[in-house]
Amino acid sequence: MDSLTQIALGSAVGVAVMGRRTAVWKAALWGAIGGTLPDLDAFIDHGDAILNMTRHRAESHALFVLTLIAPALAWIASRVHGEAALFKRWWLALWLVLITHPLLDTMTVYGTQLLQPFSDHPFGVGSMFIIDPAYTVPLIVGVVAALRMQPPRGLRWNAAGLVLSTLYLAWSVGAQQQATQVARASLQAQGIAAEGLLVTPAPFNTVLWRLVAITPTQYLEGHHSLLDEDGAIQWTVHERGADLIAQHRDDPYLARMARFTHGFYSAASVDGRLYVTDLRMGQEPSYTFRFDLGTEAARANGGHRPTQTGFRPDMATALPWLWRRMWGERLPSPLVPDGTPRLKATAPG
């Protein structure tokens, strides 16, 4: 999730656990610090763009590592404020602040390596977009109320913010399951045998869902709003670059992307250069994580390190479409080029 959300969550958790034992501003401050710490790994350069992507949310987001860090951070906080007697409470508060950060990140599709150093498996529920005001605003309101109001009223506002945001997470999982059922029924009705199905929210909400189905040679993209009158989905069809994937499957960077994306990736060759794209984040044809792996000669002699070439969509076009499509208006994606194969939208059953 975005930095503001993690700061708000950390502060809210810190205030909730410390309660009246210390000043609210102290708990909020150290909660914000703890909520920010795991994401400092973004400043580490691992040598190339693909490693920087796949090594983000690794050890710094591991439950085991953060559990080891918690007592040291609690010792600093308790000594700075002359509250050594509250060390154990600070320990509990900051441990919860630290581990709720990666647990929240796991609700997005990116991939969070919770079990490092024992496993590098990237966990991702994918029911939350990285920025969602409906989740963040209750946390901010609760923390601000706790800072401005006298206990216990302010603390109750903070607790209410945590409850509402947590209920929203639960809602997102339920909404994702509903969209998944509709997508599977649509694929079955159209006779599409998909190897994998990805269902993630469109930006800033959990009403409109982006759907990606993978076949051995193609990927299909569609959208479903919970406000649609029926389950009809129009799928656009795109080539995955199956021949290139088969040809270069032993390339270490391509293999790393395949594993990190759980198979939701594509390959393309442009002017003799090999490109690999993470299909999970973005919308056709705009993807954040698209990488240039270089020419065959450069890869053979190790003279090229992957570079990121992804780009974002035109917000002036995408946002109005997003708003209208979210409310159930049937609109083709404005980003997909004309002439792209489309499967007729049909309602299951």
Instruction: Give per-residue pLDDT as tens, 119-162.
Output: 999 999 999 999 999 999 999 999 999 999 998 999 999 999 99
Contacting residues for 320 by C-beta, under 8 A, at least 6 apart: none
Contacting residues for 186 by C-beta, under 8 A, at least 6 apart: 222, 231, 232, 233, 235, 346, 347, 348
pLDDT band, very low/low/confident/very high, at 316 (cuts 50, 70, 90): confident
Average of per-residue pLDDT across 33-42: 95
Q: Which of 20-34, 46-60, 284-298, 308-322 has the lowest mean pLDDT?
A: 308-322
Instruction: For the chain, give percent helix, strand, coil, nearest 5.
Output: 50, 15, 35
Q: Is the pLDDT of residue 201 over 70?
A: yes
Distance from C-alpha of 228 to C-alpha of 231, rounded to nearest angstrom? 7
Average of per-residue pLDDT across 312-334: 83
The pLDDT, as a whole number, for residue 341 is 58
Q: What percent of the chain has pLDDT over 90?
A: 77
- Average of per-residue pLDDT values in the chain: 92
Average of per-residue pLDDT across 161-174: 98
The pLDDT, as a whole number, for residue 102 is 98
The pLDDT, as a whole number, for residue 346 is 57
pTM (2 d.p.): 0.92
Instruction: Give per-residue pLDDT as tens, 219-244.
Output: 999 999 999 988 889 999 999 999 99
Q: What CA–CA distances, in Å, run from 264 to 26, 191, 248, 275, 343? A: 43, 20, 16, 14, 20
Instruction: Give per-residue pLDDT as tens, 240-279.
Output: 999 999 998 888 899 999 999 999 999 999 988 999 999 9
pLDDT band, very low/low/confident/very high, at 344 (cuts 50, 70, 90): low
Q: What percent of the chain has pLDDT over 70?
A: 95
